[in-house]
């Protein structure tokens, strides 16, 4: 089996966020985690000479910002390489990477090439591509990377061999919302009563029809006069005073932080910095107003376009934060802003 591996610039060893804008390129053979993938393919196939023939690499930003160009380049590479399978990532909990991995697998499937990727279940790539491509669940971090690659290799080999895949429960991939006809040992009424009994007695049970609807919060509309409003400022960009005195984590937050901006007209680089782990921070640290545009909003305050700016900014590094923690942090922010008499809030995301 001839396998093509897809990686972002970081895992391909081309650089970090400073290289996130590099275009699609094809590297010979296995690179980075692809070497472990090569070993996994050999182990899964009994050493039958299967190999990673090439690695397609691209910068996270480039793939999202130059999507049409990136898609065309990936398609051209696959047409030329003619692989038997494509393995992307795993992307873990990296959002841009996950979106790219899902898209690359979708391209491969359109070309009738079996494709597999791996992601943390809360990765945005799962929401975007989870019903179209095969995604194996992973941890948030690379701690289980070798095992993830083994699992991906095994599923890819099975798909490439023409074997029919079983259910997500049998094969281990994330459910895609597809139901197939089959037989159970017991009829539905008996299974339903057993499930109800387990639930009543606080025993573990698993529903056969999970309903996982994403929570969507309708933004509150401001109907007052902005010229008389108190405006609150919130950022998920990991903005902290220089030196990060409170030790805000760079990702996977479990709380937010409040910092005074009273008397400040701008976010000066000698006093503020960004510690976010999800993007290249050198540019934002030269001008922290990219993370919180205090200079622009202060000018609006002085011109009378808004009433006044609340003198405390709320900050968190939003990358990799679990949904449950995000909900809790968001509610706490809302309570603090309400108690402070804030009428409308500017939410700055990255």
Please give the domain boundaries of the chain with CATH numbers for all domains: 2-171 (3.40.50.2300), 226-348 (no CATH)
| Model confidence pLDDT, tens digit, residues 215-259 | 677 888 888 899 999 999 999 999 999 999 999 998 888 899 999
| Model confidence pLDDT, tens digit, residues 254-282 | 899 999 999 999 999 999 999 998 888 88
In angstroms, the CA 285 to CA 273 distance is 5
Nearby residues of 293 by Cβ (< 8 Å), 6 or more positions away: 348
**pLDDT at 349 exceeding the cut of 80:** no
Asked if 127 contacts 69 with a C-beta cutoff of 8 angstroms, the reply is: no
The secondary structure of residue 251, as a DSSP letter, is S
Asked if 266 contacts 348 with a C-beta cutoff of 8 angstroms, the reply is: no
Q: What's the confidence (pLDDT) of residue 206?
A: 81
In angstroms, the CA 37 to CA 296 distance is 49
For the entire predicted model, the pTM comes to 0.69
**Based on the number of CB atoms within 10 Å of its own CB, is 215 exposed (0-12), middle (13-18) or buried (19 or more)?**
exposed
| Model confidence pLDDT, tens digit, residues 3-46 | 999 999 999 999 988 899 999 999 999 999 999 999 888 776 66
| CA angle centred on 141, ends 137 and 144, rounded to 5° | 65
Q: What's the confidence (pLDDT) of residue 48?
A: 63
- 171 is written with which tokens? 């094969």
Residue 189 CB neighbour total at 10 angstroms: 8
Q: What's the confidence (pLDDT) of residue 323?
A: 79
Give the pLDDT band of residue 47 (cuts 50, 70, 90): low
In angstroms, the CA 241 to CA 262 distance is 14
Percent residues over pLDDT 90 in the chain: 69
Asked if 234 contacts 243 with a C-beta cutoff of 8 angstroms, the reply is: no
């Amino acid at each position: 089996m001839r396998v093509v591996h897809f990686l972002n610039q970081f895992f391909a060893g081309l650089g970090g966020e400073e290289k996130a804008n590099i275009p699609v390129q094809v590297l010979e053979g296995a690179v980075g985690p692809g070497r472990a993938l090569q070993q996994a393919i050999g182990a899964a196939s009994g050493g039958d000479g299967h190999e990673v023939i090439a690695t397609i690499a691209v910068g996270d930003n480039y793939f999202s910002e130059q999507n049409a160009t990136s898609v065309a380049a990936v398609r051209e590479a696959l047409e030329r390489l003619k692989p038997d399978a494509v393995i992307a990532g795993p992307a873990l909990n990296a959002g841009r990477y996950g979106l790219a991995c899902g898209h690359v697998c979708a391209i491969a499937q359109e070309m009738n090439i079996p494709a597999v990727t791996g992601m943390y279940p809360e990765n945005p790539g799962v929401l975007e591509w989870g019903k179209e491509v095969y995604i194996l669940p992973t941890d948030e971090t690379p701690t289980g990377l070798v095992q993830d690659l083994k699992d991906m290799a095994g599923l890819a080999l099975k798909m490439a061999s023409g074997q029919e895949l079983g259910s997500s429960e049998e094969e281990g991939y994330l459910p895609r919302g597809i139901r197939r006809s089959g037989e159970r040992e017991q009829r539905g009424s008996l299974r339903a009563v057993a499930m109800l009994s387990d639930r009543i007695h606080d025993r573990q049970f698993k529903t056969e029809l999970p309903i996982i609807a994403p929570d969507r919060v309708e933004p509150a509309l401001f109907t007052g006069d902005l010229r008389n409003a108190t405006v609150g400022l919130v950022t998920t960009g990991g903005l902290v005073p220089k030196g990060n005195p409170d030790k805000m984590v760079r990702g996977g937050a479990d709380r937010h932080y409040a910092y005074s901006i009273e008397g400040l007209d701008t976010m000066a680089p000698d006093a503020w910095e960004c510690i976010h782990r999800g993007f290249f921070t050198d540019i934002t640290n030269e001008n922290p107003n990219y993370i919180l545009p205090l200079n622009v909003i202060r000018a609006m305050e002085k011109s009378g376009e808004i009433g006044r700016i609340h003198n405390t900014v709320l900050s968190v590094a939003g990358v990799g934060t679990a949904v449950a923690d995000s909900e809790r942090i968001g509610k706490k922010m809302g309570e603090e802003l309400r108690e402070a008499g804030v009428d409308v809030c500017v939410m700055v995301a990255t």
